[in-house]
Structure 1
Amino acid sequence: MIRTQGEDEMDERRDHPLRVTLSELMHLRALPLDGAPVRLRQWVFLVEPSDRDAEAAFVGLFAPGQDAALGRAVVVGEDGGWLWERHQEFSTWTWFAYGALGDALGFQPEADERFFWLHGAPGQVFRGVEISVGAAGEPPPSDAALSRHIDLRRCVSCEVFDGAARIWTDFRLREGGAGRIHVHNLGLANDEVSRLVQTLLEIGNYRKLALLGFAPARETLAWLDGAEARLAAITGDLAAGQDSQGVLDHLLALSAEVEARAATSRFRRGATESYHQLTLDRLEALRERRLPGHSTMSEFIARRLLPAMRTREAADRRLDDLSQRVARCGDLLRAKLGLAQDRQNQETLRGMDASLQLQTKLQGLVEGLSIFAVGYYVLGLLGYLLKPWLHGWPGGEWVLAALVPLVLIAVAASLHRRKKRLIEDERS
């Protein structure tokens, strides 16, 4: 069926914007190795985020026309080439060359000017490794040739990729501060050379990056011993009824230190777990076969790496546990302060009640005195009013005397009604 130009343009408009990018991503990290024999050297640089722009500018000087912002630069020729790749917290510089390995098994010295990144690239060298892969069908190297570069008594040796190759390595630093791995090619086909070398590189890189969390974990464990003792002392002071403000100050200081530790170790904890899992994944991808008298790479790495990972996990668990215990101690202190506040409020209320009762009694006394005072003034006015009428009458004084209780009763009743009306007005 013949497609028109309009139909092709319609399909392009329907493409997801990440369709091509995600398809190319599947091949982005593959090593550009076309076959064997080949010798390779890689350096891992730890690069600070502030140095990333300088690194990109440095790469651009030696890889013109390539965008270092994409995180990858490749320069390949007929005899070999070099590759730079940026990762989250590290970068890798890889040099490779094709050709017969010779008696040195590909570990012969190379001119330093080939490795220009060692004399100008930002960052610190974290790891170096040399890998050589022989041609398919060549006889295996002799023990004498291998022993000049690898300690055969303590080396790791096994078949990988279901018997398509055999590897030797002793995980020791040699000349130039690099480890060495030799691969005897028993029948690597297609892109297996590239995939095997990349897997070996990633196993070593991720293994060593995972170990970055080991030293901080040991330091954290030492700090935790003192921090847990401080928390025990704070809890003891709290139980003994010591000054709450002093206990609170000590608890807040410890809590701040715990949270600072947790915040500092959060990234390294996640990175360590990720690198460890990536190491295990790449080891599984090797598909190893045991050889008599030698450890496999999985066994060797597990024997060294797992204790470090267990130490890291123990430090993380104890730090989390300490954080929870500090929070519980804070809850107890908060409850104690709350109870003390409640008791203080109750004492205040009792004091206010006693004051109110006293005020009520005084008010009653004042009201009683007011009745007599008002009654006295009313009787005085009545005396002035009745005096002309009672003048000369023998019983006039008895009339005034009889008015006294009547006036007091009237005044008391009047004040009571007025007080009742004020109370009702206030309630309404």
Structure 2
Amino acid sequence: MPSPITSDDHPLRQPLSDLMHEREIPVTRAPVTLRSWVYLVPPSARAAETAWVNALDADGSGAAERWRLVTTDEAGGAMWERHGEFSTWLKFSHNTPKAYGRSSLGFDAIAAADFAWLEGAAGEVFRSVEIAVLPHAPKPEHLNQFIGLQQAVCCDVFGGAARIWSDFRLHPKPGEPGAGRIYVQDKGLKNDELSRLLQTLLEIGNYRKLALLGFPVARALFAWLPDAEARLARVTADMAGDQPSRADILDQLLALSAEVETRVNEVRFRQGATEAYYRLTMDRLSALREQRVEGFSTMQEFIERRLTPAMRTCEAAFKRLDDLSTRIARASDLLRAKISIGLDLQNQDLLKSMNLRSALQIKMQGLVEGLSVFAVSYYIFHLVKYLLEPVVGHGPQAAWLNAGIILVILTLAWGFIYHKKKAISHDDL
């Protein structure tokens, strides 16, 4: 009989398997009313959020460290999740009696008092939405009291298993600033379709609004970019002339480059986040598998008509900033090339001057060498003359002897200096 496998499991085997199910909303049946909040939480407030969430965690399982807290019972439940730059809070209730649901469409099932405990949550409320899921189709005049049908979207989703209505507007209530509303008619959702539909609708709204955080940044960039581009144009034009000096041009270029890189660092995260949120929004819209309802826009048509132009504006602003950074880099390369060429020309002039000086030094050295031959010969001749004078005297024979001695001394002195120069040159090579 084969022995059982005794090897240790990888530490990430179970966590990664559980990850495939962590994002599910624990809603399995209708009718249900759901309320969701999105809180933007800065990094400085994460520690406070962790402490607050752990205080809510009744079983002490360290929910904040797991980035998720879920509590459920027969009547409903609540859920908290931490994301990259935001956190979500969700409360749902099944206490929607049939008659009560028909009168209010379920939007009053969760009152303001039911989420008063959120006043201590870290961060700022960025989005809130109510979703009511009931099995009946509302009358238009009744639905219009809760959702403005004049500019609402309406479509069948999940292959006709549900129909949704929403006007993408905030609806204030007494004691709270209000929230958006989505009404869902359950026409035959099966298995986990209700949970997936609610998750998809929430993510579409959350990611859509988070993507729009890049729009004010893009508008601010468009207000700043013309002046920066004009400054770069002036610096580039100055590079073609002789004024101002290269040092002044370099200072201007460095100042502009530092300012641009500061802007790039400030918007880089928002640029990437905007692109990611927009792609996620489009992916979730495709997952709805919408079918048109006559007289209404689909959710994808409504969102694309309003979101896509804003995203194109963000894309253009970020691209223009990247292009400015690239142009500054090219201008810096041109300035460095100009300075390098100027230095090369200066070095050439210096080498020419050094060559002329070397040639002059060689000529002067040759002259000095010739004079040194005569000087050495002069001193040696007088030494020899002093030695021979007592012997030969001062007659004509002495004059001829002195002449011969001078020729010999000159020849020997010149030969000695010549051979020493040659030896020195050979050693240098």
- Normalization by structure 1: what TM-score? 0.92
Alignment partners' CA distance in 2, 1:279 and 1:59: 28
Which of 47, 58, 75 in structure 2 is aligned with 1:53? 47
How big is the alpha-carbon RMSD for the aligned residues of Structure 1 and Structure 2? 1.9
CA distance in 2, matches of 1:63, 1:399: 126
Whether the 8 Å CA contact 1:63–1:75 is kept in 2: the answer is: no
Percent identical: 53
Structure 1: gaps of 5 or more residues? none
Q: CA deviation at 1:402?
A: 4.5
Give distance in 2, aligned partners of 1:184 and 1:35: 13
Q: 1:284-317 CA deviation, whole Å, 9 max, x = no partner?
A: 1111111111100000000011001111111122
Structure-1 residue corresponding to 2:186: 185
SS at match of 1:73: strand
- Tell which deviates more after alignment, 398-407 or 308-317: 398-407
Q: How do residues 14-413 of structure 1 correspond to structure 2 at under 5 angstroms?
A: 15-65=9-59, 66-68=61-63, 69-98=65-94, 99-100=96-97, 101-108=101-108, 110-135=110-135, 138=136, 140-175=137-172, 176-242=177-243, 243-391=245-393, 393-413=395-415
Amino acid at match of 1:351: S
Q: 1:117 to 1:307 in 2, by over 3 A?
A: farther
How far is the alpha carbon of 1:74 from its aligned partner? 1.3
Say if 1:82 and 1:93, in contact at 8 Å, map to a contact too.
yes
Q: Report the residue type matching 2:424 in the other structure.
A: L
Question: How far 1:377 moved relative to its partner?
Answer: 1.4
**2:159–2:291 CA contact under 8 A, matched in 1:** yes
Check 1:238–1:394 CA distance in 2 against 1; reply closer, same or farther (3 A cut): closer
| Residue 118 (structure 1) shift | 2.8
Q: CA deviation at 1:424?
A: 2.4
CA distance 1:55–1:385, change in 2 (3 Å): same
In 2, distance between residues paired with 1:25 and 1:76?
A: 20
Equivalent-residue separation in structure 2 for 1:40 and 1:263 (angstroms): 39
- Cα distance in structure 1, aligned partners of 2:47 and 2:198: 29
Q: How many residues align?
A: 418
- For the 8 Å contact 2:235–2:253, the answer to whether it is kept is yes
Q: CA separation of 1:145/1:369 partners in 2, compared to 1, >3 Å: closer, same or farther?
A: same
Cα-to-partner distance string for 1:322-343 (whole Å, 9 max, x where unaligned)? 1221111111111111111111
Task: Name segments (4+ residues, structure 1) moved above 4 Å.
Answer: none
Cα distance in 1, alignment partners of residues 404 and 13 from structure 2: 116
Is the deviation greater in 407-416 or in 117-126?
Answer: 407-416
Going from structure 1 to structure 2, the CA distance change for 1:392 and 1:39 (only over 3 Å counts) comes to: closer
Would you say the 8 A contact 2:166–2:183 is kept in 1?
Answer: yes
**Residue 117 of structure 1: how far off its partner (Å):** 4.2
SS of the residue corresponding to residue 36 of structure 1 reads coil
Per-residue displacement from partner, 1:147-173 (whole Å, max 9, x unpaired)? 111111111111111111111111011
Output the CA distance in 2 between the equivalents of 1:371 and 1:147. Answer: 121
Residues 63 and 74 in structure 1, CA contact (< 8 A), matched pair in contact too = no
Q: Distance in 2 between matches of 1:120 and 1:38?
A: 26
Equivalent residue of 2:248, what SS? Answer: helix
- Contact 1:38/1:96 (<8 A) preserved: yes
C-alpha displacement of 1:67: 2.2
2:93–2:109: 8 Å Cα contact kept in structure 1?
no
Cα contact 2:381–2:406 (8 A) shared by 1: yes
Q: Which amino acid aligns with 2:125?
A: V
- 8 A Cα contact 2:45 2:122, kept in partner: yes
Q: Which amino acid aligns with 2:53?
A: V
Q: What is the rounded CA distance, in whole Å, between the counterparts of 2:192 and 2:90 in structure 1?
A: 18
Shift of 1:177: 2.9
Provide, for residues 337-394 of structure 1, a one-character-per-residue CA deviation record: whole Å limited to 9, x for no partner: 1111111111221222122122212212211221221122122122212212222645
Seen in structure 2, the aligned counterparts of structure 1 residues 114 and 62 have a Cα distance that, compared at 3 Å, is: farther
Give me the TM-score of the superposition, normalised by structure 2: 0.92
